[in-house]
Amino acid sequence: MKITDECISCSACIDECPQSAIYNAGMEAEYNGSMISPESEEHPWIVQGLCDDCKTCTEVCPVDCIVTA
């Protein structure tokens, strides 16, 4: 899944993701022993390798800005 620029940075999705795959804007993520640069400096972003497409985040997003990657 992927977060589009329509995101209002409410952070609701971050708390709900069971895989802890959603990181804050500008935050690096660690995946498989490597650091991954943030995909966005403006809004939360999803580490594709951690996301299992459960879509829990899409249920809590108030602006429906989380879409299939």
Binding site for ligand SF4 (CB under 6 A): 1, 3, 7-13, 17, 19, 21-22, 43-44, 46, 51-57, 60-63, 65-66
Give dist(CA 38, CA 58) in Å, integer: 20
Question: Do the Cβ atoms of 56 and 26 come closer than 8 Å?
Answer: no
Q: Which amino acid is at 27?
A: M
Counting Cα atoms < 13 Å in the Cβ hemisphere of 48 gives: 6
Nearer to ligand SF4, 19 or 39 (CB): 19
Nearer to ligand SF4, 29 or 33 (CB): 29
Nearer to ligand SF4, 29 or 43 (CB): 43
